[in-house]
Amino acid sequence: MRISVNGKHLQIEAGERLVDVLNRSGAAIPQVCYHPQLGPIQTCDTCMVEVDGKLARACGTLATDGINVVTSSPRAGAAQREAFDRILSNHLLYCTVCDNSNGNCTVHNTTALLAIEHQEIPYQPKPYEVDLSNPFYRYDPDQCILCGRCVEACQNLQVNETLTINWEDPHPRVLWDGGAEIGESSCVSCGHCVTVCPCNALMEKSMLGEAGYFTSLPKAALDGMIDLVKGIEPEVGYDPIMKVSEVECAMRDSHTKRTKTVCTYCGVGCSYDIWTKGRHILKVEPEHGPANGVSTCIKGKFGWDYVNSPDRLTKPLIREGEKFREATWDEALNLVAHKFREIKAEHGPDALAFISSSKCTNEESYLMQKLARAVIGTNNMDNCSRYCQAPATTGLWRTVGYGGDSGSISDIEQASLVVIIGSNAAENHPVLATRVKRAHKLHGQKLIVSDLRKNEMAERADLFLRPRAGTDLFWLSAVTKYIFDNGLANQAFLDKWVNGVAEYRESLAPFTLEAASQRCGLPMETLATVARMIAEAPSVCILWAMGVTQHLMGSDTSTAISNLLLVTGNYMRPGTGAYPLRGHNNVQGASDHGAMPNFFPGYQKVDDPDIRAKFEKAWKVTLPAKPGLDNHLMIDAIHDGRLKSMYVFGEEMSLVDSNANYVSDALSKLDFFVMQEIFFSETCRFADVILPASPSLEKEGTFTSTERRIQRLYRAMDPLGESRPDWEIILDIANRLGANWSYNHPSKIYEEIAPLTPLMAGVTYERLEGYKSLQWPVAEDGTDQPLLYTKEFKFPDGKAKLFPVPWSEPSNQQDGEYDLHLNNGRLLEHFHEGNMTYRTEGIKSKTPCTFVEVSPELATERGIESGSWVQLTSPYGKVRAQAVVTARVHGKELYMPMNSVEEPVNRLTSSYTDKITHTPAYKETSVHLKLLGQNGQNPLPRTNSRFGHPTPQKGVEVERKWKRKDYSLPGNGLVQIKTGQQQT
Ligand code: SF4
Ligand code: SF4
Ligand code: SF4
Ligand code: FES
């Protein structure tokens, strides 16, 4: 198909928007409200062109075969200028003193593109105040051009549904919750709206007074300059005024640095440019991230103050009695090397253990495991995937072969049915959840959620199941049996691609709907509906997280999920597959790169002699053959006196491991304990030496997200004080122990990893440059696999396996004394215990402390109100917290988020674990609740988004603008022409 543009022929693809074709062709047309990731909003009318002789909005028109387009005819040009004139009536052009004038302001650039000299319609201020009530951004109605990008982003991309425009009002503006202050609305501070705003109406507060050379002038001086510009504009026109602004804008480049980085919080893998001026973070600008585009959540967009926190560790510390003293690097590293050598000589290499950080880079995990194995000679090496994801990995290894998400976020987006089990995705994987919310809202995707809590995804679901705690395996198996028994299995897929069908089907005999209904507390009809929805959906993705894995049967339930997908043929195609959502930004990468007791990088077994020989040859050492201790067994080994020394980096072990009192006791017994951290964490209290490390913004390397996506991060600023990147510290320790390593950059480390690791064979820094990424497995020629199993499963015969999993009861059932079930997890605003996020004041103001969610029925029974102080006691410890009474929890279920260092929920959790992986059964905790007093305020302040009242609508609803009496289509009042269907 082709079209004619200004007399030239252009090839087009079916379904392309005309504006995209024109942009591709290089025809410069204005387009103020259009953003490719939002789709056509059609509010600004600046993209008017002639199509077959009639005026049309290029953004709202589909390019169809044979059309004749003219972009700069007098009619089109007049219409474009008329439309833009209306925009300028809503916006004061004071670019030289505007913090948004950084070369990417759409209003500024369109003024230049259209060579606007004078405004026809004068600027008209709106009768509203600037709203500064959100801690992170401001809204200035006087600068708002009513393009609606923010509304579209909030309604249809983030799908928080906070923003609208009151088109019928004499003075329309953007509204939060229909007219609330921003700070008291449902806004979750994800920043989507701020990111897509084409001008300075919505701006990060961290930019204000900082971005420009003159923008920090006192308000009176600024107002004077603005008045001066207004005064001379009628005389001289905009051209010289814009030229001055462009000179000032160019000068800003000398103090503003834009660095691509990858988010350091969750496993979604958002990437973005971070703008810095020295150490001041001006803003986070997402746009090109392969996982996130313009999307972020509150943590990625605004949670960076910790980097400049005054309590960053900046010097090595050495314990002296009960205190620590500052030391030089030489002294601290020599002491570490000396003690490691001494302990190894006295007790053998297995008296030492190493824990790698899921917050740090792949290269750092690789070096840590190499230090443990090649320098010390032990496989006592682990990372925190043991606390969360190991059971999911096991379930996938058993059934399909690779221990990672079977596709990409784009597959989840295009699935016709998404099933979420035991995952609070909207809070824990916020950007990934937006893709489900969007597909569900706009594209007819169906959603089933199974959870103990009625979280946001459950609120949105077509079907919400609330099974009894710890019974997911039972209902999943019953649904699978029902599918078999009712002829709903995908027999052709099973015949061709799956082994073990008959044996597996036989193993399902106990899992009748009746039995499942009784054990799980779910109606049989509901289970049958779930089975039919899954079996009949053209494509299904199942997402799960800690609600599944942190149980005695975490591995088996993960296996049951994969079994169900196999029985219904939901692998090997786009829009299908298994998605265990990885928690930390690099928990996938830490395991991938060998920070495990039984695997070298790429899941190559340490007890396989051929594999070991390969690494021995490369590293020129003899390596230990026996798998080492995992982090659960390490704690037992300290208590038993077998383990004498540990080296932990970037891991708050004493709070995040289960049964925290038992773990803390163990850490206090170590002969020699090295912590490498950015803050003096709780775990540091037990250390003998503390080494100050650098966070992600101060170093280079790669992270691997939940999609198996490997991405590069670049250094945005130098390490603070004497802190150093973790890889440099590990290297220095190794060399003091005689390793003779010579890496001078993380890329050199990857040059060693790739040839040793078939899974990463083709990974190079060049192939990951900028926003490029690779999703493992990566072949030597650089071919990666965004969707796994397109040709076969990862078993010798290429077939998957159905793996029978029997039922066993959860560990910790309620009884007379411990009569309530306690669930726990993260909060949207904080990451885990909050070591990083509490250092952002705005986050702290929204969620200052932890709390316990209590159901309305339990609250009535026990006389509890929001704000009441309660004490929770389990067989392992006690915590105090204030109650929040909410219907998110039900009956005798309690929920406690993890965001507390003082009262960590893990004082209550046990040492029971998943039997295969030793992942703690965090979610199997029974407690006793004692009411301590009523005299507290609600621990969630009124400014928390959970108190807001969203205003869902289909988007910006531009048709309401078009119905206004004072609206006419620009271009001499021509009749509104029919445009293509909105493409979103
Ligand atoms: S939730 Fe808040 S920050 Fe996010 S897009 Fe909506 S209004 Fe903006
Ligand atoms: S605040 Fe919203 S409507 Fe106003 S200019 Fe910015 S994106 Fe457009
Ligand atoms: S969704 Fe996750 S990766 Fe993305 S910005 Fe938020 S915390 Fe970072
Ligand atoms: S770009 Fe705004 S209407 Fe097309």
Q: What tens digit of pLDDT does each residue of 127-166 get?
A: 999 999 999 999 999 999 999 999 999 999 999 999 999 9
In 376-528, beta strands by DSSP E: 381-382, 417-421, 446-450, 463-465, 498-499
Q: Could you report the per-residue pLDDT of 328-361, keeping only the tens digit for each?
A: 999 999 999 999 999 999 999 999 999 999 999 9
| Residue 649 clears pLDDT 80, i.e. is over it | yes
Structure confidence at residue 232 (pLDDT):
82
Q: Could you report the per-residue pLDDT of 379-437, keeping only the tens digit for each?
A: 999 998 888 788 999 999 999 999 999 999 999 999 999 999 999 999 999 999 999 99
| Residue 977 clears pLDDT 60, i.e. is over it | no
Question: Does 34 contact ligand 4 (Cβ within 6 A)?
Answer: yes
Lowest average pLDDT, out of 362-376, 634-648, 813-827, goes to 813-827
Lowest average pLDDT, out of 80-84, 573-577, 903-907, goes to 903-907
Contacts of 53 (CB under 8 A, 6+ apart): 68
Structure confidence at residue 638 (pLDDT):
97
Q: Whose CA is nearest to atom 6 of ligand 1?
A: 154
Structure confidence at residue 979 (pLDDT):
37
| Residue 326 clears pLDDT 70, i.e. is over it | yes
pLDDT band at residue 219, thresholds of 50, 70 and 90? confident
- Amino acid identity of 881? A
Pairing of strands 137-139, 163-165: unpaired
C-alpha 268 – ligand 3 centre gap (Å):
6
Q: What's the CA gap between 149 and 138, in Å, rounded?
A: 16
Question: Does 436 contact ligand 4 (Cβ within 6 A)?
Answer: no
| Residue 971 clears pLDDT 50, i.e. is over it | yes
Ligand 3 pocket mutation pick from 301, 412, 431, 713 by most atoms within 8 angstroms of CB: 431
C-alpha 163 – ligand 1 centre gap (Å):
7
C-alpha 265 – ligand 3 centre gap (Å):
6
| Residue 696 clears pLDDT 50, i.e. is over it | yes
Q: Classify residue 14 by burial, with Cβ atoms within 10 Å: 0-12, 13-18, 19+.
A: exposed
C-alpha 6 – ligand 1 centre gap (Å):
40
> Given the CA of residue 158, which atom of ligand 1 is nearest to it?
5
Question: Does 197 contact ligand 3 (Cβ within 6 A)?
Answer: no
The DSSP string of 850-918 is --EEE-HHHHHHHT--TT-EEEEEETTEEEEEEEEE-TTS-TTEEEEES--SSS-GGGT--S-B-TTT-
Average pLDDT over the chain reads: 95
Alpha-carbon dihedral angle through residues 155, 158, 163, 166, given to the nearest 10 degrees: -30
Coil, helix or strand at residue 470: coil
Segment 532-555 shows an average pLDDT of 94
Note whether 947 and 700 are within 8 A (CB): no
Question: Does 431 contact ligand 3 (Cβ within 6 A)?
Answer: yes
Structure confidence at residue 972 (pLDDT):
61
Coil, helix or strand at residue 161: coil
Q: What's the CA gap between 742 and 507, in Å, rounded?
A: 55
Note whether 924 and 398 are within 8 A (CB): no
DSSP code of 153?
I
Q: What's the CA gap between 125 and 747, in Å, rounded?
A: 54
Percent of the chain residues topping a pLDDT of 70: 99
Question: Does 146 contact ligand 2 (Cβ within 6 A)?
Answer: yes
Q: Which ligand is nearest to the CA of 192?
A: 1
Q: 204 is written with which tokens?
A: 């990060």
pLDDT band at residue 305, thresholds of 50, 70 and 90? very high
**Binding-site residues, ligand 1, Cβ < 6 A:** 153-154, 158, 160, 162-163, 187-193
- To which H or E segment does residue 9 belong? strand 8-11
Candidates 631, 632, 690, 662; CA nearest to 904 is 662
Coil, helix or strand at residue 21: helix
> Given the CA of residue 57, which atom of ligand 4 is nearest to it?
4
| Residue 980 clears pLDDT 50, i.e. is over it | no
Segment 724-740 shows an average pLDDT of 98
Q: Which ligand is nearest to the CA of 190?
A: 1
| Residue 452 clears pLDDT 90, i.e. is over it | yes
Question: Does 296 contact ligand 3 (Cβ within 6 A)?
Answer: yes
Q: What's the CA gap between 210 and 281, in Å, rounded?
A: 10
DSSP code of 448?
E
Q: What's the CA gap between 553 and 585, in Å, rounded?
A: 25
Q: Classify residue 932 by burial, with Cβ atoms within 10 Å: 0-12, 13-18, 19+.
A: middle
Question: Does 559 contact ligand 4 (Cβ within 6 A)?
Answer: no
| Residue 507 clears pLDDT 60, i.e. is over it | yes
Q: What's the CA gap between 688 and 324, in Å, rounded?
A: 8
Ligand 1 pocket mutation pick from 35, 136, 189, 301 by most atoms within 8 angstroms of CB: 189
C-alpha 431 – ligand 3 centre gap (Å):
6
Segment 269-276 shows an average pLDDT of 98
Sheet order of strands, 8-11 included: 8-11, 2-5, 68-70, 48-51, 54-57
> Given the CA of residue 202, which atom of ligand 1 is nearest to it?
8
Ligand 4 pocket mutation pick from 47, 196, 979 by most atoms within 8 angstroms of CB: 47
Q: Which ligand is nearest to the CA of 202?
A: 2
Q: Which ligand is nearest to the CA of 185?
A: 1
Segment 35-46 shows an average pLDDT of 96
Full-model pTM: 0.96
Would you mind telling me the total number of residues written for the chain in this entry?
984
Structure confidence at residue 984 (pLDDT):
29
Q: Classify residue 15 by burial, with Cβ atoms within 10 Å: 0-12, 13-18, 19+.
A: exposed
Task: Give me the residue label for tokens 């169809």.
Answer: 64
C-alpha 237 – ligand 3 centre gap (Å):
45
Ligand 3 pocket mutation pick from 195, 268, 696 by most atoms within 8 angstroms of CB: 268
| Residue 816 clears pLDDT 60, i.e. is over it | yes
Q: Which ligand is nearest to the CA of 163?
A: 1
Q: Which ligand is nearest to the CA of 130?
A: 2
Percent of the chain residues topping a pLDDT of 90: 87
Q: Which ligand is nearest to the CA of 145?
A: 2
Question: Does 199 contact ligand 2 (Cβ within 6 A)?
Answer: yes
pLDDT band at residue 658, thresholds of 50, 70 and 90? confident
Q: 728 is written with which tokens?
A: 């440099």
Q: Which ligand is nearest to the CA of 61?
A: 4
Question: Does 335 contact ligand 3 (Cβ within 6 A)?
Answer: no
Ligand 3 pocket mutation pick from 190, 271, 297 by most atoms within 8 angstroms of CB: 297
C-alpha 187 – ligand 2 centre gap (Å):
15
DSSP code of 543?
E
> Given the CA of residue 262, which atom of ligand 3 is nearest to it?
3
Note whether 840 and 304 are within 8 A (CB): yes
Task: Give me the residue label for tokens 């705690």.
Answer: 469
| Residue 976 clears pLDDT 50, i.e. is over it | no
Q: 381 is written with which tokens?
A: 């090496």
Lowest average pLDDT, out of 654-668, 802-816, 832-846, goes to 802-816
